[in-house]
Amino acid sequence: MPSSPDTLARMGGRELKRIVYSQEEIARRVSEMGREIAEAYPKDEGLLVLGLLKGSFIFLADLVREITRPLHVDFLVASSYGSGMVSSGNVRLLYDPEASLEDRHVILVEDIIDSGTTLNRLVPLLEGRRPRSLELCTLLHKHIARGLAREPRWVGFDAPEEFLIGYGLDFSEDYRNLPFIASL
Q: How far apart are CA 114 and CA 93, in angstroms?
A: 18
Among the listed residues 66, 38, 2, 16, the one whose alpha carbon sits nearest the alpha carbon of residue 179: 16
CB-CB contact of 167 with 181 (8 Å): yes
Q: Name the amino acid, one letter, at 119.
A: L
Instruction: Pick the catalytic residue from 74, 114, 158, 170.
Output: 114
Examine the residue annotation and report whether 114 is marked as an active-site residue of this protein: yes
Contact residues for 59 (Cβ-Cβ < 8 A; gap 6+): 30, 109, 111, 139, 156, 167, 168
The catalytic residues are 114
